Amino acid sequence: MNILAAILLIGGLIFFAGGAIGILRFPDFYSRLHPAGKLDTAGQFMMMAAVALFVLQDLSWQSFLTAAKIILIVIFVFITSPTATHAIVDAGVRAGLKPWTKAERL
Amino acid sequence: MKKALPSSRADKPTDSNLSQTKRFRQFNFGTLLSFFILFGLWVVLSGRFDGFHLVLGVISSAIVALISGDLIFTSPKIRSILMLWLRWVGYVPWLVFQVFLANLQVMYLTFHPRMLDLIDPHIIEFDSRLKSDYARTTFANSITLTPGTITVNATVLGRFAVHCINTKSGQALPGKMEAKVAKVFNE
The tens digit of pLDDT for each residue in B30-85 reads 778 888 888 988 888 887 788 898 999 999 998 988 887 777 666 666 777 777 77
Distance to chain A for B21, nearest Cα, Å? 36
Chain B environment of A26 (Cβ under 8 Å)? 110, 115, 119
Residue A52 in this model has a pLDDT that exceeds 70: yes
Chain A environment of B121 (Cβ under 8 Å)? 27-28, 30-31, 99-102
Q: Which helix (H) or strand (E) holds B106?
A: helix B78-110
Tell me what the mean pLDDT of segment A66-92 comes to.
86
User: Which residues 6+ apart lie within 8 Å of A102 measured at CB?
Assistant: B119, B120, B121
8 Å CB contact of B141 and A26 = no
- Which of these, A95, A94, A81, lies nearest to A33 by C-alpha position? A81
Give pTM, 2 decimals: 0.71
Residue B184 in this model has a pLDDT that exceeds 80: no
Per-residue burial over A73-93, b if 16 or more Cβ lie within 10 Å, else e, is eeeebbeebbebbbeebeebb
8 Å CB contact of A15 and B103 = yes
In terms of C-beta density within 10 A (0-12 exposed, 13-18 middle, 19 or more buried), how is residue B160 classed? buried
Whether residue B145 contacts residue A82, with contact meaning beta carbons closer than 8 Å, is answered with yes
Residue A96 in this model has a pLDDT that exceeds 60: yes
Residue B1 in this model has a pLDDT that exceeds 60: no
Whether residue B99 contacts residue B145, with contact meaning beta carbons closer than 8 Å, is answered with yes
Whether residue B143 contacts residue B149, with contact meaning beta carbons closer than 8 Å, is answered with yes
Parallel/antiparallel/unpaired status of strands B149-154 and B159-164: antiparallel
Look up residue A6 and give its DSSP letter: H
Q: ipTM score here?
A: 0.72
Q: Name the interface residues of B facing A (CB cutoff 8 Å).
A: 41, 44-45, 47, 99-100, 102-103, 106-107, 109-111, 115-116, 119-123, 140-141, 144-145, 148, 150-153, 161, 163, 165
DSSP string, B118-164: H---EEEEEE----SHHHHHHHHHHHHHSTTEEEEEE-TTSEEEEEE
Chain A environment of B115 (Cβ under 8 Å)? 25-26
